[in-house]
A and B are shown apart, each in its own frame.
Chain A
Amino acid sequence: DARVTQTPRHKVTEMGQEVTMRCQPILGHNTVFWYRQTMMQGLELLAYFRNRAPLDDSGMPKDRFSAEMPDATLATLKIQPSEPRDSAVYFCASGLLEAETQYFGPGTRLLVL
């Protein structure tokens, strides 16, 4: 049963600390997406990759957020320095270029104090 995995599932940190979230897409999927979900803003696209190349990161605050795919089995989202307004659930999703749907991971619940 292929699934997208994300670590950590929960993270509590203090303002100013670096946060790294990791995602393992479904094996063989060639598109990876990072989303952020809050009650106020809903589900927002932060960045997405196709065949490991970043295609669009316009939804991401550039000064503090960075997203990378060092290899086909790992995508990372970093926040440095973190701020309380970054508190949200961060979802990673993967899919196939020619297919219709994205498969979401369980999310990382981030709380920045």
Chain B
Amino acid sequence: GQNIDQPTEMTATEGAIVQINCTYQTSGFNGLFWYQQHAGEAPTFLSYNVLDGLEEKGRFSSFLSRSKGYSYLLLKELQMKDSASYLCAVRDAGGFKTIFGAGTRLFVKA
């Protein structure tokens, strides 16, 4: 079966660091994605991990452990505009089928 778990909501303070966790159990694995989605808008691509380790891209970093079925998205120097939903998604081994988690709504407060 396919299962992707991430917290429903998180709150953090402007300027702080927040880590959003994602655990997955899928029948196959060909990469893990993080997308950002602001309310009323389409998801936009943030990061992609296919090998274990940390990928850093500006204020955002994403980590993957395939053996543990675990990933996290790290957001540094939080800004108010980072308030959004963050979607963890896993691509299956066979092709391009991508399964999305329910998303984590992040609230950044002043």
A contacts, CB < 8 Å to B: 31, 33, 35, 42-45, 48, 50, 55-56, 91, 95, 97, 100-107
From A33, A48, A101, A103, give the contact of B33 (CB < 8 A): A101
B contacts, CB < 8 Å to A: 31, 33, 41-45, 48, 87, 89, 95-103
- B42 close to A105 (CB less than 8 A): yes
Residues of B with C-beta under 8 A to A55:
95-96
Q: In whole Å, how far is A110's beta carbon from the nearest beta carbon of chain B?
A: 15
Give the interface SS of chain A, mostly helix, strand, loop or mixed: strand
Total cross-chain contacts (CB, 8 A):
48
Residues of A with C-beta under 8 A to B98:
33, 45, 102
- A100 close to B41 (CB less than 8 A): no
The distance in angstroms between the C-alpha atoms of A87 and B59, with both chains bound, is 36
Residues of A with C-beta under 8 A to B100:
35, 42-45
The distance in angstroms between the C-alpha atoms of A102 and B31, with both chains bound, is 13
- B43 close to A43 (CB less than 8 A): yes
- A31 close to B96 (CB less than 8 A): yes
Residues of A with C-beta under 8 A to B99:
45
From A42, A56, A101, A104, give the contact of B101 (CB < 8 A): A42
